[in-house]
């Protein structure tokens, strides 16, 4: 029996690469669900190619167009956010790959866990916002969360077979992004276009900006805390500009295991879909001779303050990472629309974190509310000027 995969966010960077992987292993895997927010043309094209049982377009106003384009095919077309939650629970789905970006991934991920689907999780924001609840539900339902994020996939791979050996610490590697080594005055006027030029990875816009501000690494620290049950001081971020060591685990005897490879997301995507097996692949192979020098640096926390903000949010706990995430999503969107400057990003996030009340043990409803309050507050700051707007 082929494993049937729901690809949530199939039109994005991870989603498209996941379809490539599934295509290469079509004897063992089949696409059962495709979803997109508003890229109807690509969604329709993917649906015509893969003929999944179900397609969801989140933007309800696009429903009729998608339905009409797929009329005559054995494909059910759905629309809206509620449909995303329901689609993750379908009997016909074996594996849910959550490749949507942002807070929107939270509720479909919870649905998938509660329906005891195998879960391949690319959406890091889910664990940042609600790591405690997600890991609790996963434990209750016997679901292993297999991370797709390359660093966490690396740690997960290093820990496979080490069930009896707790890690002493982990090293999360960071490329440093397009502005590594820059001075403050050089960052004052960087543009959206410059921030979107990632040196090693081609990814969606939001995560690319997060990589430039180092918020991506901050989100990953929180993601690692929940996935691997580590204290903040057991998670060290090191800048490794070549991006070939995807991350490392140090055990109590001092031994360090690293997972390496070319920066190619298809590898962690494939591993998450096929775990605990490794299937063959024809992806380009790594050559040590192409990388005669691997280098390492400390991250510049005074300039890339988002990483420190994320450690602070993790220390505070409760709803603080959720507040930070909401503020970050709003500010990144504002930066992508040329409404704030690059260096304003951490200033605004910090202001939101300082202004909203900490709740130590938030329920899911509390988190949904914290998210909307933080968004509304950030919106007010963005509208209000306060010297923050260009």
Q: Is the dihedral of CA 371, 99, 90, 114 positive or negative?
A: negative
- Compute the least distance from the CB of residue 163 to ligand NAD, in Å: 25
Q: What angle separates helix 215-228 from helix 306-316, to the nearest 10 degrees?
A: 30
Among 36, 110, 248, 320, binds ligand NAD (CB under 6 A): 36
Which of residues 88, 90, 104, 272 is near ligand NAD by CB under 6 A? 104
Give SS3 for 197.
coil
Count of residues making up the chain: 390
CA distances in angstroms from 300 to 171, 197, 303, listed in the order given: 16, 19, 6
Q: Which does 70 bind (CB under 5 to 8 A by kind): Mg ion, ligand NAD, none?
A: none
Q: Is 31 in the site for ligand NAD (CB under 6 A)?
A: no
- C-beta of residue 98 within 8 angstroms of C-beta of residue 122: yes
Residue 58 near residue 79 (C-beta atoms within 8 A): yes
**Which does residue 122 bind out of ligand NAD, Mg ion, none, counting CB within 5 to 8 angstroms by kind?**
ligand NAD
Q: Cβ 272 to Mg ion, closest distance in Å?
A: 13
Among 31, 177, 35, 21, which residue's Cα sits nearest to residue 98? Answer: 35
Binders in 143-172 for Mg ion, by CB under 5 A: 149-151
Q: What's the closest the beta carbon of residue 235 comes to ligand NAD, in angstroms?
A: 17
The H or E element that residue 37 is part of is none
Using rule CB under 6 A, residue 221 touches ligand NAD: no
User: Closer to Mg ion at the Cβ: 19 or 221?
Assistant: 221
Provide the minimum distance between the beta carbon of 333 and ligand NAD in the complex, in angstroms, as a whole number.
11
104 touches which of ligand NAD, Mg ion, none (CB within 5 to 8 A by kind)? ligand NAD
- Per CB under 6 A, the list member of 24, 25, 39, 86 interacting with ligand NAD is 39
Identify the residue among 80, 180, 182, 201 touching ligand NAD (CB under 6 A).
201
By CB under 6 A, name the one of 33, 40, 50, 58 that touches ligand NAD.
58
Q: 333, 348, 354, 357: which is closest to 378 by C-alpha?
A: 348
DSSP per residue, 236-301: EEEE-TT--EEEEEEETTS-EEEEE--S-THHHHHHHHHTT------SPPP-GGG-S----B---T
| 13 makes contact with ligand NAD (CB under 6 A) | yes
Binding test (CB under 6 A) with ligand NAD, winner from 6, 18, 77, 101: 101
CB of 251 to ligand NAD, least distance (A): 25
> Greatest CA span in the chain, whole angstroms?
62
Could you say whether residue 123 binds ligand NAD (CB under 6 A)? yes
Q: Which residues pair with 239 in a beta bridge?
A: 174, 297
How many residues line the site for ligand NAD (CB under 6 A)?
27
* Binding site residues, ligand NAD, CB under 6 A: 9-15, 36-37, 39, 58, 99-102, 104, 122-125, 149, 201, 203-204, 206-207, 265
Binding residues for Mg ion, rule: CB under 5 A, are 149-151
């Amino acid at each position: 029996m082929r494993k049937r995969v729901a690809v949530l966010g199939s039109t994005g960077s991870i989603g498209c690469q996941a379809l490539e992987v599934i295509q290469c292993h079509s004897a063992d895997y089949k696409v059962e669900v495709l979803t997109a927010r508003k890229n109807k043309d690509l969604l329709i094209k993917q649906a015509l190619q893969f003929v999944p049982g179900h397609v969801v377009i989140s933007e309800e106003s696009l429903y009729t167009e998608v339905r009409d384009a797929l009329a005559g095919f054995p494909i059910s077309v759905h629309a809206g956010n509620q449909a995303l939650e329901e689609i993750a629970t379908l009997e016909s789905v074996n594996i849910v790959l959550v490749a949507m970006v942002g807070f929107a991934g939270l509720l479909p991920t919870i649905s998938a866990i509660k329906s005891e689907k195998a879960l391949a999780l690319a959406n890091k924001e889910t664990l940042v916002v609600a790591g405690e609840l997600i890991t609790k539900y996963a434990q209750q339902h016997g679901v292993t969360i297999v991370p797709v994020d390359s660093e966490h996939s690396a740690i997960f791979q290093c820990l496979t077979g080490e069930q009896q050996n707790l890690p002493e610490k982990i090293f999360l590697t960071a490329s440093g992004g397009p502005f590594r080594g820059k001075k403050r005055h050089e960052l004052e006027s960087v543009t959206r276009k410059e921030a979107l030029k990632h040196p090693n990875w081609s990814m969606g816009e939001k995560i690319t900006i997060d990589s430039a501000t180092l918020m991506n690494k901050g989100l990953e620290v929180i993601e690692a805390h929940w996935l691997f049950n580590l204290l903040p001081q057991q998670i060290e971020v090191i800048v490794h500009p070549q991006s070939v060591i995807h991350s490392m685990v140090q055990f109590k005897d001092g031994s360090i295991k690293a997972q390496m490879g070319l920066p190619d997301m298809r590898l962690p995507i494939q591993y998450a879909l096929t775990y605990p097996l490794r299937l063959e692949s024809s992806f380009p192979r790594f050559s040590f001779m192409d990388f005669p020098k691997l280098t390492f640096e400390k991250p510049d926390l005074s300039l890339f303050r988002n990483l420190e903000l994320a450690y602070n949010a993790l220390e505070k706990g409760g709803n603080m990472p959720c507040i930070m995430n909401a503020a970050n999503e709003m500010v990144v969107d504002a930066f992508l629309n040329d409404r704030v400057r690059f260096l304003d990003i951490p200033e605004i996030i910090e202001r939101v974190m300082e202004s909203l009340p900490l709740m130590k043990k938030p329920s899911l409803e509390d988190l949904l509310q914290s998210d909307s309050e933080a968004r509304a507050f950030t919106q007010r700051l963005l509208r209000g000027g306060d010297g923050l707007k260009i």
